[in-house]
Structures are given as structure tokens and as C-alpha cells.
């Protein structure tokens, strides 16, 4: 006896290998790829492929190379892509604030999850930016205008403009004073930068002091100009860069106390400068009092060979980089708003500018255009930038200081509050959603297996009951008088009794035929669809049997 095997239709798309599907997905927009996830499980897992999202991420940084995915919270290239898109559009995924000082925040430094803030209320705050928890609050006894810290060295440096000291060193963990730097000619600290060995301080009178912060010895003093120093940065081990308010950028050698190079980007003065947060970056963003923006970059040298690298050293390489003419990345002299603060990171092409509309006071955080972008229209001023979406409750906030890293912007306002805007994807939430989805899929698989086993057991029970003759004695039927009086009420009961209680020995020929069929099918491999189909056929036979009984009774062919 031949068995009818169920045939399953196979789509020609299922025969395509995953490599071809991934190639097709690379040509699709990202929004279309997200829609393809709901089509099938195969497309869902293909849309999560790392190479696919790495390819789409590389398009965000063209014509430059794709930067490395170094952040610990970015566990996939898809999260990396979504982070960059959030940055470019100014869509913060998480926003929170906390009260840091009683007066306006004039200094802050962000490194990792640690934020150090300074204010004119004579206090320094150490915060965990993830939770907003205050780790330490240190009373300095003077106004604070700039701060810096090295956590693994357990040191915080703060500069004062009106205080009796130019710089004070404080223990990061205990808050104890480690030392003070003060001289008669030292008046009005403006900016600072420190590394594991040196600390460089720029003053209002245009001087730069370089000291060994461990013992307080001064190793260099540079007279830049009579104008104040807008920014200072240590490069390598023995190189220091300064930006003065007269518009000049100077590169000095600490060991020889000589000027290596000077560059003047324009004839205008510089009010605000922001150095590249990227350790390997060579960018400076300068802002004039009129609002003009100048983004300058020194191009990196090609990596040296092994022998050249040994002879050259880090300081020699930095000297070669900064002894050349820099490149003007972006220039805009048509900015109608007043700019108060800025921050850049060339690794991911992030940049934020804090602006102010004169009246009523209203602050804005503007996403600086991509460094490699070729479609920036410099004729429409600041209106060409994307704006960070702010909650309605902080529309009147004025941001006067900010700092950025790979994933967030931290800004201090004039009322003493700190606002944090995170652009990263919520990894924990996505992980929980994936776990819930996986549990639901496992539950569906478990239920499907259970229903399959239940159906299989029911079918085997029916086959067994049909194969064994049932020798039960018939119940006593109602007499003719009772049937005539209760004809309408007893019709369905009579039919049910006919089917349930009657012996099936009169169908011996059919049963023998059924025995033969069952014996022939015992050795064959049965599929799930075949078993369900057989069950449906048996159920149909039962319905036909009941229908025949009803027809016999209604046509008066059954006599009681």
C-alpha cells in the first residue's frame, strides 16, 4: 500500500546563501533593513550581522577611515551606528540633571564616568556621571576658574583667579591639600592642563608656567604676549601648546624653553578654544568674540618603520607634526548668535557648541558639523547646525561650560546645575528585550511540541479503540409511549446513545479491513502532517456516522 506523503513548497529565496542576502542588505537603506526583521527568522538574524552594520557605519565617516569601536558600552556595530546617528541628529537617548553648586558652574572636567566641577562658591564637586551621585565635595577657600584631575594618581588640580594661590593640588580620595603654587607675579589663572609629570598653567597676563606637580619645582616659564592665555595643552612629554586671545597658536619645547612654531589663523582675537579630546587627535576649535568659528587640524604623519620609530621617539614625532602649516577644516564668520563654550572629539567627528540668544536668555547646544562633511553650507551661519533636543523644563538655561566624550555631553549652567545628554543605545534594555523575546520563542516551541505530542497520543488512542472490538451490552431503550411523549427532548439523547452504547461487532468486515491497514502502516515512518490528516479523516467518519443515524431516525426508518 502506498502512502500519500505531504509535500512542502520551498521558496527559491530560501535556496540563496547568506552571503548573497548580506550583499543585498548592504544595498538597502537602514530603515528597510529594520523592516525586513519582521519578515522571517532568517532575515531577522541576517539583519543582526556584524559585517553588515560595520559596512553601513563606514559610510558615515567617508571619505575618511572608519574609527575603531573602543567604548566598552558599544558591544556591536549596530549600536555603534545608532550612536553616530544619534550624535548627528542631536537625539539624546537619556537626559538628566542635578544640582551641583549654588553659583554658576565655571569649570568642569569629564574623564570616563568621573566628573569634577568647580564654581565661584569656593567648592569642588566630584561626581559619578552615571548616577549623579556626589562622591566628594571639597571646600577650597577661593573661587575656581579651571580644574583638571588624574584619578589613578589621586590628584585634583584647581586654578583660582582672585585667590591667594594660582593653583592648588588636592587629594582625589580624601580631599586633603597636597600643595599650592603661588608667586607675586602670578595673577589670574585662566586655564590648565596636566599629565603624569607636568602641569601647565596659563594666566591673565599672558604667561605660561610649567611645573613638576609632584614636588612643585618650576621647569619653564613662557611669555606669550601681553594678552591673556585662552587655552593650554601638554603634548607628548616635553611639548606645550598655547592659544592666546590675540589669535596666535604657539608651540613650545619645555626642555629648551624655545618656540618651535607659531600659527595665526586670522587677524581676529580668540575668546574660547577647545582642544581635541581624542588622545591621538591634533584638532583645535577656536571661537572669536564676534562668534566666528575656526577649526584647525594638523595632519598626522604616516606611521614610521620599526627602526625609524626607535630613533625618532614620541617628542620628535610631535615636533615634526606641529612644525608644519595646519589645515583649516572649517571656517564660519557669519554666526549671528553669541557662543559661550565648545567641545570636539575628532575620533568620531563629534562637536558641540553652546550658544546664547540675547533676550530672553535662552541657551542651545548645537551639534558641530562632521569634520569630513562636504555639504556644510557656511553661508547660513549657525542655523546650519543640528540642535540637541532639550527637555521643555530647561528652555531658559544658559550653558556656559561643557565637555564631551564618545557618548555624552556634560554642560554646566549659570544656575549651578549640571545637565548630561547621553546618545548611546540602552544596552541593558535591549538585552532584556532579547531575553524576553528568546523566552517567548522557547515557550512557543515548547507549546508546539506539547501540542504535537498530545495530538499524537490522541491519534494513537483512537486507533487502538477502533482496532479492538467493544463488547458492551446495550442499555434499555425507552418504550414507544415515552418516546411519543418526549420526542423532541429525547431525539438528541437517543442519537447519542445509538453512537456511544451500540456494539460495533456488526462492522466486522470494516474492522478487519482497518486491521490490515494498521498492520501495513506500522513499519512506515509517519510525519506530523500525516498523523494530523489521519485524525481529521477519522473525525469526519464519526460525523458521517452520526449524520446517517439522524437521517434514519428522521425518515422513520428506525423503529423503537
Give, for all 560 residues of the chain, the pLDDT tens digit. Answer: 444 444 455 666 667 788 888 898 889 999 899 888 888 888 899 899 999 999 998 888 877 788 887 665 678 899 889 988 888 888 888 888 888 998 889 999 999 889 999 998 889 999 998 877 889 899 988 889 999 999 899 999 999 888 888 889 999 888 899 988 877 666 788 999 999 999 999 988 888 999 999 888 889 889 877 788 999 999 988 899 999 988 889 999 998 888 888 888 877 888 899 999 887 888 999 988 888 888 888 988 887 766 555 556 778 888 889 988 898 888 888 777 788 889 988 888 788 888 876 556 667 888 876 544 444 443 334 445 778 887 776 656 788 899 998 889 999 988 889 999 998 876 555 555 455 455 555 555 555 555 545 555 444 444 444 444 444 333 333 444 444 444 444 444 544 444 444 433 333 444 445 555 555 655 565 555 555 455 555 545 555 545 554 554 444 443 33
Residue 365: CB atoms within 10 A of its CB come to 26
The predicted structure's pLDDT at residue 169: 92
The predicted structure's pLDDT at residue 559: 37
The predicted structure's pLDDT at residue 410: 93
Residue 494: name the closest of 482, 512, 511 by CA: 482
CA dist., res. 274 & res. 342, Å (int)? 6
The predicted structure's pLDDT at residue 555: 47
**One-character DSSP codes across 377-407:** -TTSGGGGSEEPPPPGGGTT--EEEEEE-SS
Q: Which residues 6+ apart lie within 8 Å of 519 measured at CB?
A: none
Domains and CATH numbers, the chain: 15-68 (1.20.1280), 459-554 (no CATH)
The predicted structure's pLDDT at residue 528: 55
Q: Read off the C-alpha cell for 245.
A: 586671545
The predicted structure's pLDDT at residue 382: 45
Residue 516: CB atoms within 10 A of its CB come to 11
Q: Is 466 helix (H, G, I), strand (E, B) or coil?
A: helix
Give the position of cell 570636539. Answer: 344
What would the pLDDT profile of 345-389 be if each residue is shown by its tens digit?
888 878 888 887 655 666 788 887 654 444 444 333 444 577 888
CA dist., res. 75 & res. 422, Å (int)? 16
Amino acid at each position: 500500500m502506498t502512502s500519500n506523503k505531504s509535500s512542502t513548497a520551498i521558496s527559491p529565496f530560501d535556496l540563496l546563501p547568506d552571503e548573497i542576502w548580506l550583499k543585498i542588505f548592504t544595498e538597502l537603506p537602514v530603515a528597510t533593513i529594520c523592516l525586513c526583521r519582521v519578515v522571517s527568522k532568517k532575515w531577522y538574524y541576517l539583519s543582526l550581522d556584524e559585517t553588515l552594520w560595520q559596512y553601513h557605519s563606514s559610510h558615515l565617516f567617508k571619505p575618511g577611515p572608519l574609527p575603531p569601536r573602543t567604548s566598552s558600552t558599544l558591544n556591536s556595530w549596530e549600536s555603534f551606528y545608532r550612536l553616530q546617528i544619534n550624535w548627528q541628529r542631536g537625539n539624546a537617548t537619556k537626559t538628566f540633571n542635578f544640582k551641583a553648586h549654588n553659583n554658576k558652574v565655571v569649570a568642569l572636567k569629564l574623564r570616563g564616568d568621573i566628573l569634577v566641577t568647580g564654581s565661584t562658591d569656593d567648592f569642588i564637586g566630584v561626581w559619578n556621571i552615571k548616577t549623579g551621585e556626589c562622591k566628594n565635595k571639597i571646600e577650597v577657600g577661593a573661587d575656581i576658574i579651571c580644574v583638571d584631575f588624574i584619578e589613578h594618581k589621586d590628584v585634583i588640580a584647581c586654578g583660582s583667579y582672585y585667590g591667594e594661590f594660582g593653583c592648588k593640588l588636592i587629594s582625589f580620595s580624601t580631599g586633603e591639600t597636597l600643595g599650592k603654587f603661588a608667586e607675586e607675579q602670578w595673577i589670574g589663572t585662566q586655564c590648565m592642563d596636566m599629565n603624569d609629570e607636568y602641569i601647565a598653567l596659563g594666566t591673565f597676563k599672558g604667561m605660561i608656567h610649567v611645573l613638576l606637580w609632584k614636588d612643585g619645582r618650576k621647569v619653564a616659564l613662557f611669555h606669550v604676549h601681553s594678552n591673556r592665555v585662552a587655552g593650554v595643552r601638554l603634548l607628548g612629554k616635553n611639548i606645550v601648546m598655547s592659544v592666546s586671545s590675540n589669535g596666535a597658536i604657539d608651540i613650545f619645547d619645555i626642555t629648551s624653553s624655545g618656540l618651535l612654531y607659531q600659527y595665526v589663523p586670522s587677524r581676529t582675537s580668540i575668546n574660547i578654544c577647545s582642544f581635541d579630546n581624542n588622545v591621538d587627535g591634533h584638532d583645535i576649535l577656536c571661537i572669536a568674540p564676534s562668534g566666528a568659528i575656526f577649526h584647525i587640524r594638523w595632519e598626522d604623519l604616516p606611521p614610521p618603520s620599526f627602526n625609524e620609530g626607535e630613533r625618532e621617539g614620541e617628542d620628535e614625532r610631535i615636533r615634526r607634526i606641529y612644525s608644519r602649516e595646519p589645515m583649516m577644516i572649517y571656517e564660519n564668520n557669519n554666526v549671528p548668535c553669541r557662543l559661550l563654550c565648545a567641545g570636539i572629539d575628532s575620533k568620531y567627528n563629534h562637536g558641540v557648541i553652546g550658544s546664547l540668544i540675547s533676550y530672553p536668555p535662552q541657551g542651545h547646544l548645537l551639534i558641530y558639523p562632521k569634520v569630513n562633511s562636504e555639504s556644510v553650507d557656511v553661508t547660513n551661519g549657525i542655523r546650519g547646525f543640528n540642535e540637541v533636543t532639550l527637555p521643555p523644563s530647561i528652555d531658559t538655561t544658559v550653558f556656559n561650560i561643557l565637555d564631551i566624550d564618545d557618548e555624552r555631553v556634560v554642560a554646566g549652567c549659570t544656575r549651578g546645575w549640571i545637565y548630561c545628554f547621553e546618545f548611546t543605545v540602552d544596552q541593558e534594555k535591549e538585552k532584556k528585550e532579547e531575553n524576553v523575546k528568546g523566552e517567548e520563542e522557547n515557550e512557543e516551541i515548547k507549546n508546539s511540541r506539547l501540542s504535537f505530542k498530545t495530538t499524537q497520543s490522541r491519534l494513537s488512542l483512537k486507533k487502538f479503540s477502533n482496532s479492538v472490538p467493544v463488547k458492551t451490552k446495550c442499555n434499555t431503550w425507552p418504550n414507544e409511549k415515552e418516546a411519543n411523549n418526549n420526542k423532541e427532548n429525547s431525539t438528541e439523547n437517543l442519537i447519542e446513545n445509538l453512537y456511544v452504547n451500540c456494539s460495533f461487532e456488526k462492522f466486522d468486515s470494516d474492522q478487519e479491513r482497518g486491521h490490515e491497514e494498521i498492520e501495513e502502516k506500522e513499519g512506515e515512518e509517519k510525519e506530523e502532517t500525516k498523523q494530523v490528516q489521519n485524525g481529521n479523516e477519522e473525525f469526519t467518519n464519526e460525523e458521517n456516522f452520526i449524520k446517517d443515524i439522524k437521517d434514519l431516525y428522521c425518515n422513520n426508518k428506525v423503529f423503537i
